[in-house]
Structure 1
Amino acid sequence: MYSVILTELGISVFNDGKLDKAFSFSNPVKEYLLVKSKESKLNELVNYLASTQRGFSISDESLLAILKKYSIDCHLMDESELDTVQTNKPQIIVDSGFASNLQDTLGKLREFALGLSSSIVTEVSQSPDLHIIQAINSLDEIDKIANGLSSRLREWYGLHFPELDNIIDSINGYAQIVIAGKRESLTKKVFEEAGFPESKVEMLSLISSKSRGGDISDINLVIVQSIAKQVLEFHELRKKLEEHVENEMQEIAPNISAILGTAVGARILGRAGSLKKMASMPASTIQVLGAEKALFRALKTGSQPPKHGLLFQHAMVHAAPRWQRGKIARAVAAKAVIAARVDVYGEGLNQTLLEKLNIRVGEIGKKYENPTEKDMRPPPTFSREGGSFRDSPRREGGRSRDSGRSRDSGRSRDSGRSRDSGRSRDSPRRDSGDRREGGSFRDSPRRDSGDRREGGSFRDSPRRDSGDRREGGSFRDSPRRDS
C-alpha cells in the first residue's frame, strides 16, 4: 500500500513502510504554505504518482485536494494512521533523507517553526483591514489636534481682531484670513479668496476698519500664522484620510459600508480589532461597542445597560426617537454582523441586507410610534458612594440607609464630651448607664423596661448594673459602683 506523507521539509512516498521516493522542499516554509493553501502545483510528485497508477493514502487534506485536481486515485488516512505518522515524523524525516539524524531533524524543525511564525506575522501585518483601522484612528486623532489648534488660533488672533470670531464659523476660512496678516491689510480680495459670499465680504471689510482689538507684534503674528498654516495642512490631510478610508472600506468591506456607512463601519471595525473578529462577534456586542464604561457600570450597580455605543452615530439610530433607539440599534447591529460575515467568507455586495434593514426599521417606527409609560419614566438617579455611582435602594418602611440614626443627629459627635471629658477611659461608669455613640458618651436616663436602640426598635433586655454594651462592638466589664 502506497502512502504519501507531507512533512515540514518535503513530501515522501512510502510503499509498505519502505521509502519509495522523496521530494524535498528547497524553501521549506514557502513551499509548505503553498501546499497548505492548495496553491502548489507539485508537478514532479503528480507525474510520479500518475506513472505508478496505484491507490495512495494521503496524510494531509490540502495535499489530497491538490492531487484530486489531477485525477490521482487517493484517499485520506484514517485517524490511527495519522497518529502513527505524527508520532514517528522525526524518524520519517531521517528515513526520507531530509535530515542526517534525529538531532539534525530537531534543529531543522526549529528553524522551520521560526520561519513559519515570521511569515504568519508578516501576512497578518499585510491585512488591509488593519490599515483601515490605523487610518480611521489617525483621522480621529487629527480631529482632536486640529480642534485644539483651532481654538488656540481663535483666542490668539482674537486679541487683535475679536469681531472675526463671531462672524466666521469655518476654521478653514478663519485660518486663511489669519495668514493674510493684520486686520489693516485685509481687503475684499482676501475675503473673496477665502470663499465668503459677497454680503459677508462687505460686512468683514466694514468691521475690520472699525475693530476694537489691540495691535499685534510682527513676532507674534508670524507664530499665529504658522499655527494657521498647520490648521490648513491638517484640514487637507483629513480630507485625504477620509477619502482613503471610504475607498478602502468600499473595497474590503462593501457590505459593512452599505449597512453602517464607511466612517461608522471603520470605527466599529477598529473597536472589534479586525474584520474576522467582528464577524465572530454576536450582535449584542456590536451594539454596545464604544460604551464599555457604561456597560460595566451597569453590570456593577444593576442599573439600566446602555442601548448603543458607536452605533449612535448611525443616521437611523441618531434620527430616531429616544424610545426607539435601542430597538433600531439592535436591528442595525444584527445586520452589521451578517454583513461582516459576508465580507469575510463571501464575495460582492449583498443588496438584500440593506433592504431588510430598512423594512425592519420601518416596522419599529410604526409599532412603537408613541412611547409607553415605561419609556416616559425619568432615568434613574445615582448617588456617589465609595468612589462609584450606585443606585441608592430604599429600605423597608421608606427609610434610607442613614434614616436609622438618632433624632439628635444634627448635633456634632463631640457635643456630649463636655460633661465627661474629665473622666478617663478606665474610670468607673455611672449606674445610670452611658451609651457610646459616634466616639462619645452621652448621659441618658435609665429605663426600667430596658434600653432603646437609637434608630432601631425597642428591645427588652435585663438591666445591667456592671456596665453597658458598646454599640456595634462587644461588652466591656467596668468596675461596679457602690449603690
Structure 2
Amino acid sequence: MLTREEAISKAKAELKKEYSKEEYSLIQAVRSVEDLEKAKNLLIQRIKEWFNINFPEVTVFDDKLVELISVFSVKENFDEKKLSNIVGDKKAVELTLKAKNSFGAKLQKNDAEALQQLAVQVKSINDTIKYMEEYIEKTSLKVMPNTTRIAGAVVASKLLAKTGDLEKLAKMPASTIQVLGAEKALFKHLKTNSKPPKHGLIFQNAFVSGSPPKERGKKARKIAAKIAIALKADAFTHRDIATYLK
C-alpha cells in the first residue's frame, strides 16, 4: 500500500505525463486565436468610430482600413499613389476626392498619433494570428494526423478545443461530432421543437460548406462518420488510416 507521500508523488508524475501531451498546447493555441479574433474585431470597430471623426465618408473597412490608418493616420496625409497600393487605383482616386471635400474634423497631432498607434497594434495582432494559425496547422497534423487529413487542421483543432481532450472526443459518436459547436441550435430544437441543426464546426470543412444547402446535412453526416473513425485511430491505435477513409 502506498504512503500518502508516495500517492501524491505518483499523482503528480501522472499529471505531468498527461499535460506533456502536445494536444493541450494545441487547444490553448486554438483558444488564443479565438480570443485574438475577438479583440481584433472590437479594436477595428473602435478604430472605425475614431477615424469617422476625421473622415466620416470613408468607404474602406476592416484590414484595409487598419492598413490605411497605420500608413497615413488621418485624411490630410493621403497620397494618391501610396493609397493605391493599399486600396487600388480606382478606390484611391475616390478616397482622395472625398477627403478633399470631407466635413470631418481635423484631429490634433497627438490624437492622430494615438489613432495610428492603435492601428499598428491591430496589424501586430494580425501577424500573431497568422503565426498561430501556421503553428496550429503543423501541430494538428502531429497530434491528430488522420483527423487533420480528413477534416482539415481548422476543423480538427477546433473540435479538439471544444471538447478539451482527444480521448474524450474520440469516444463521441459521429452524430455528436456532427453538431459540435451548434449547441444553441440543438437546445432550441429540444426546447421548441424547431428544426435540428445539420452541422456545427464541421461546416467549416469545404466538403460541407461548398455543397448546395439541400445536400449539406448528408455531407455533414458523411464527413462526421469519417472523422469519428479517424479520431479513434489518432487517440488509440495510432495507425495511419486517412488514405483509406478518403
TM-score (norm 2): 0.89
Partner of 1:212: 103
Question: Does the 8 Å CA contact 1:153/1:224 hold for their aligned counterparts?
Answer: yes
Partner of 2:214: 323
- Cα distance, 1:273 vs structure 2: 1.8
Structure 1: how far apart are the matches of 2:91 and 2:146? 44
Letter in 1 for 2:125: F
Question: Does the 8 Å CA contact 2:27/2:157 hold for their aligned counterparts?
Answer: yes
| Secondary structure of residue in 2 paired with 1:339 | helix
Question: Does the 8 Å CA contact 2:208/2:219 hold for their aligned counterparts?
Answer: yes
Question: Does the 8 Å CA contact 1:177/1:190 hold for their aligned counterparts?
Answer: no
Partner of 1:479: none
* Structure whose alpha-carbon radius of gyration is higher: 1
- Cα distance, 1:128 vs structure 2: 0.9
Structure 2: how far apart are the matches of 1:148 and 1:213? 23
As a proportion of its length, which structure holds more strand?
Answer: 1
Residue 133 (structure 2) aligned to one of 242, 245, 255: 242
Partner of 2:50: 156
Question: Does the 8 Å CA contact 1:133/1:269 hold for their aligned counterparts?
Answer: yes
Structure 2: how far apart are the matches of 1:258 and 1:293? 28
- Cα distance, 1:301 vs structure 2: 4.0
Mean alpha-carbon deviation: is it higher for 298-307 or for 120-129? 298-307
Structure 2: how far apart are the matches of 1:181 and 1:293? 41
Mapping 1:365-384, distance limit 5 Å: none
Alignment pair present for 1:140 and 2:34: yes
How many residues get paired? 244
- Cα distance, 1:272 vs structure 2: 2.1
Structure 2: how far apart are the matches of 1:188 and 1:198? 8
Residue 264 (structure 1) aligned to one of 143, 147, 155: 155
**Residue 302 to residue 157, structure 1, CA distance change in 2 (3 Å):** closer
**Residue 178 to residue 301, structure 1, CA distance change in 2 (3 Å):** closer
Question: Could you give the per-residue CA deviations for residues 21-72 of structure 1, whole angstroms, max 9, x where no partner exists?
Answer: xxxxxxxxxxxxxxxxxxxxxxxxxxxxxxxxxxxxxxxxxxxxxxxxxxxx
Partner of 2:169: 278
- Cα distance, 1:241 vs structure 2: 0.8
Structure 1: how far apart are the matches of 2:238 and 2:8? 32
- Cα distance, 1:348 vs structure 2: 3.7
Structure 2: how far apart are the matches of 1:291 and 1:200? 39
**Residue 292 to residue 200, structure 1, CA distance change in 2 (3 Å):** closer
Identity, % of aligned positions: 35
Mapping 1:155-194, distance limit 5 Å: 155-164=49-58, 166=59, 168-169=60-61, 171-179=62-70, 180-192=72-84
- Cα distance, 1:235 vs structure 2: 0.8
- Cα distance, 1:267 vs structure 2: 0.9
- Cα distance, 1:302 vs structure 2: 4.1
- Cα distance, 1:303 vs structure 2: 4.2
Question: Could you give the per-residue CA deviations for residues 107-146 of structure 1, whole angstroms, max 9, x where no partner exists?
Answer: xx32221111001111122111111111111111111110
Residue 23 (structure 2) aligned to one of 129, 139, 144: 129
**Residue 300 to residue 175, structure 1, CA distance change in 2 (3 Å):** closer
Structure 1: how far apart are the matches of 2:40 and 2:46? 10
Structure 1: how far apart are the matches of 2:73 and 2:116? 8
Higher relative contact order (CA 8 A, sep 6+): 2
Alignment pair present for 1:307 and 2:168: no
TM-score (norm 1): 0.47
As a proportion of its length, which structure holds more helix?
Answer: 2
Question: Does the 8 Å CA contact 2:73/2:115 hold for their aligned counterparts?
Answer: no
**Residue 297 to residue 227, structure 1, CA distance change in 2 (3 Å):** same
Letter in 2 for 1:290: G
Partner of 2:239: 347
Partner of 1:289: 180
RMSD: 2.1
Question: Could you give the per-residue CA deviations for residues 277-336 of structure 1, whole angstroms, max 9, x where no partner exists?
Answer: 111111111011112233233334444432211122222222323332222111111100
Structure 1: how far apart are the matches of 2:134 and 2:171? 28
**Residue 213 to residue 252, structure 1, CA distance change in 2 (3 Å):** same
Question: Could you give the per-residue CA deviations for residues 215-272 of structure 1, whole angstroms, max 9, x where no partner exists?
Answer: 1122322321222122111111111111111111122212111221111111111112
Structure 1: how far apart are the matches of 2:226 and 2:87? 43
Alignment pair present for 1:117 and 2:11: yes
Partner of 1:251: 142
Structure 1: how far apart are the matches of 2:154 and 2:176? 19
Question: Could you give the per-residue CA deviations for residues 182-223 of structure 1, whole angstroms, max 9, x where no partner exists?
Answer: 32222235425x534334334433333333322112232232
Question: Does the 8 Å CA contact 2:150/2:242 hold for their aligned counterparts?
Answer: no
Question: Does the 8 Å CA contact 1:254/1:349 hold for their aligned counterparts?
Answer: no
Question: Would you identify which runs of 4 or more consecutive aligned residues in structure 1 move more than 4 Å?
Answer: none
